[in-house]
Amino acid sequence: MNRLIVVTGGTKGIGRAIVEAFMKKGYDAVVCARSESDLHRLQQEMTVLLADSAENSEALPQLFTKAVDVAKRAELDDFIRFIQALDRPVDVLVNNAGVFLPGQIHNEAEGVFETQMETNVHSVYHLTRGLLGGMMEQRRGHIFMLGSTASIIAYPNGGSYCISKFALMGMTKVLREEMKPHGVKVTILLPGATYTDSWAASDLPESRFMKPQDIAEVVWTASHLSAGAVVEEILLRPQLGDI
C-alpha cells in the first residue's frame, strides 16, 4: 500500500507543489481546500500528470479531496473524520493552509486578528491533535508546519499575521519536544517570498522569487532522512534576499 500524505490548502502554490512532488513519487494524498471547483481541477490535472509518469505506470496513486474551510471547527472536525475513515496511517501531514491580511496592530480592522489566528494557528492545533494519535501508535510520521520568515522577524505591516506565525513557531517547538519519545518528527518551514497567486499581481519579475517547487523539494528531502535525524527548522529565502 502506498504511503499517505495529508496537505491542507493543497490546490495552489506551495501546497499544490508538495502534493505533486509526493504523488509523483508514489504517495497517495488527502487534500483539502475551500473551493470544490479547485479540488476538482486538481483531481483532473493530477490524473493526467500521473498517467504520463513512467514511475507510476503500474498503479497510479490515489487522490482524496474534501472541501473544507479550516478556520471553521465543525468543518475541520469533519475533515479529521474523513481522513480517519480511510483507516490508514498518515505518514506526512503538511499544515499548509493559511491567510495573510496585511495591517498594523494599532489600526487593522476588527476581526483581522481572529481570522488569522483561527486559520493560521487554531486549525493547525486541532488538525494535528486529530491525527497525532495514529502517528504515535505507529511510532512514525512527520508533521510539517508552514511558517514564514514572519515567524522569526517582525515587520511593520505584518500585524496579526506576524503574531500568528510567531505562535506557530512556538507550537512547533512544543510539539517537537512532546514527540521526541514517540518517533514522530516535527519541522517548521520558514520560506521568504515565494511566487504564488498572492504575488502574481506585483510588478516584480518572477525570477526575483523562489518557486513553490523549491519548497516542495525541501519537504521531500527532509521527510526522507533516516529515522535518527530530523530537520527542525528550514529557513529559505530568495537568492537576492527578502522582498
Distance (Å) of CA 104 to CA 13, 98, 154, 224: 26, 18, 11, 39
Which run of H or of E encompasses 191?
strand 185-191
The answer to the question of residue 143 being in a domain is: yes
pLDDT at 204: 83
The answer to the question of residue 241 being in a domain is: no
Q: Which of 98, 238, 221, 220 is nearest to 167 (CA)?
A: 98
pLDDT at 55: 56
Q: How far apart are CA 171 and CA 202, in angstroms?
A: 32
Q: Which of 43, 48, 51, 42 is nearest to 12 (CA)?
A: 42
The answer to the question of residue 80 being in a domain is: yes
Indicate the number of domains in the chain. 1
Residue range(s) defining the domain that contains residue 116: 4-236
Q: How far apart are CA 174 and CA 144, in angstroms?
A: 14
Contact partners, residue 77, CB within 8 Å, separation at least 6: 126, 130
This prediction's pTM: 0.95
Q: Which of 194, 105, 203 is nearest to 154 (CA)?
A: 105
pLDDT at 128: 98
The answer to the question of residue 58 being in a domain is: yes
The answer to the question of residue 243 being in a domain is: no
The answer to the question of residue 43 being in a domain is: yes
The answer to the question of residue 149 being in a domain is: yes
Q: What DSSP state is assigned to residue 109? A: P
pLDDT at 202: 77
Q: Which of 123, 229, 234 is nearest to 180 (CA)?
A: 229
Q: Residue 199 belongs to a domain with what CATH number? A: 3.40.50.720
Q: How far apart are CA 54 and CA 133, in angstroms?
A: 35
Provide the residue-wise pLDDT of the chain in tens; the chain has 243 residues: 899 999 999 999 999 999 999 999 999 999 999 999 999 999 999 999 998 775 555 678 999 999 999 999 999 999 999 999 999 999 999 999 999 999 999 999 999 999 999 999 999 999 999 999 999 999 999 999 999 999 999 999 999 999 999 999 999 999 999 999 999 999 999 999 898 876 777 778 888 899 999 999 999 999 999 999 999 999 999 999 988
* 241 contacts 225 by C-beta, under 8 angstroms: no
pLDDT at 57: 54
Q: Which of 135, 126, 151 is nearest to 70 (CA)?
A: 126
For residue 50 the three cell numbers come to 500521473
Grid coordinates 490548502 are at which residue? 9
Q: Which of 224, 219, 242, 220 is nearest to 234 (CA)?
A: 219
